[in-house]
Amino acid sequence: MDVQGKRHIPLSPAQAWEALNSPAMLRACIPGCESIEQSAPGRFEVVQQLEIAGHRTSFTSTLWLQDANPPHSYVLRFEGNGGSAGFGAGRALVALQPAGDGTSLQYQANAEVGGAIAQMGGALADQAVRGLIEDFFTRFERSARGELVLAPHGMAERLWEMMPPWAWALSTLVAVFILYWGLHGTW
């Protein structure tokens, strides 16, 4: 399965390169990322919680850079294991080029899956993997634009930070009401 795309990133190629190699940025952008640790230069160990075709599972993955040409391009290789859910492996060629007031980020990725994920059917498995890849690059673009707050903590905190202002206000009002009612037993 192949996925390719192009994004305009409002950063210089050097800044985009730095962001693509930042554990905090990767954590914010990798779908379902629970943790990420840099085990060596250009090598990351990732734990993800994913739901694929209604099945929620934990994946442990390794990401590593090959053929790095800072700040222009690299090949990102990945291997992941979800236990009984299956496994995935692939690579993504990422190229960064100056473009006006930022950088043109182009990617071409391919991935293969096996185990229970592959048994869902080729089209459904491809759709799930394609969605994960597209989700990563969408989040990266949004983070670079300042639309997605980088959070060095868990999913609940990241969801809170992504909430629109009206949801913050509503949540705060509900919390105040619950606190007041709990202390006084009446409104």
Instruction: Using pLDDT thresholds of 50, 70 and 90, give the confidence band for residue 178.
Output: very low
- The CATH code of the domain that includes 19 is 3.30.530.20
Whether residues 119 and 169 share a domain: the answer is no
Provide the pLDDT for residue 37: 93
Provide the pLDDT for residue 7: 92
Instruction: Using pLDDT thresholds of 50, 70 and 90, give the confidence band for residue 132.
Output: confident
Whether residues 136 and 164 share a domain: the answer is no
User: In this model, does residue 181 exceed pLDDT 50?
Assistant: no
Provide the pLDDT for residue 111: 84
User: In this model, does residue 154 exceed pLDDT 50?
Assistant: no
Mean pLDDT of the chain: 79
Q: Which long-range contacts (CB under 8 A, 24 or more apart) does 31-38 make?
A: 31/132, 31/135, 31/136, 31/139, 32/59, 32/155, 34/58, 34/154, 34/155
Whether residues 80 and 160 share a domain: the answer is no
Whether residues 73 and 33 share a domain: the answer is yes
Whether residues 141 and 185 share a domain: the answer is no
Instruction: Using pLDDT thresholds of 50, 70 and 90, give the confidence band for residue 45.
Output: very high
Q: Which residue has the higher pLDDT, 27 or 85?
A: 27
Q: Which domain holds residue 98?
A: 2-152
Provide the pLDDT for residue 149: 63
Q: Which residue has the higher pLDDT, 174 or 71?
A: 71
Helix or strand or coil: residue 81?
A: strand
Are the CB atoms for 3 and 109 separated by under 8 Å? yes
Could you give the percent of the chain with pLDDT greater than 90? 40
Whether residues 43 and 119 share a domain: the answer is yes
Whether residues 11 and 86 share a domain: the answer is yes
Whether residues 117 and 175 share a domain: the answer is no
Whether residues 94 and 179 share a domain: the answer is no
User: In this model, does residue 105 exceed pLDDT 90?
Assistant: yes
Whether residues 105 and 179 share a domain: the answer is no
